[in-house]
Amino acid sequence: MPLYMVFFFLLGLVGFAIYGMVDGGTALVLAIMVSGVFFTCFLILFTIYWLGYLLKGHAIWQARHQAQSEGPSTGG
Residues 34-62 have pLDDT tens digits of 888 888 888 999 999 999 999 999 999 99
Q: What is the pLDDT of residue 70?
A: 66
Report the C-alpha gap between 18 and 28 in whole angstroms: 8
| Position 58 in a domain | yes
Structural domain total, the chain: 1
Q: What is the pLDDT of residue 33?
A: 83
Q: What is the pLDDT of residue 73?
A: 58
Between residues 16 and 45, which one has the greater pLDDT?
A: 45
Rounding to the nearest 10 degrees, give the CA dihedral for residues 54, 55, 59, 60.
Answer: -30
User: What domain range includes position 25?
Assistant: 2-68
| Position 73 in a domain | no
pTM over 0.75: no
| Position 63 in a domain | yes
| Position 30 in a domain | yes
| Position 74 in a domain | no
Q: What percent of the chain has pLDDT over 70?
A: 86
Number of neighbouring beta carbons within 10 Å of residue 28: 15
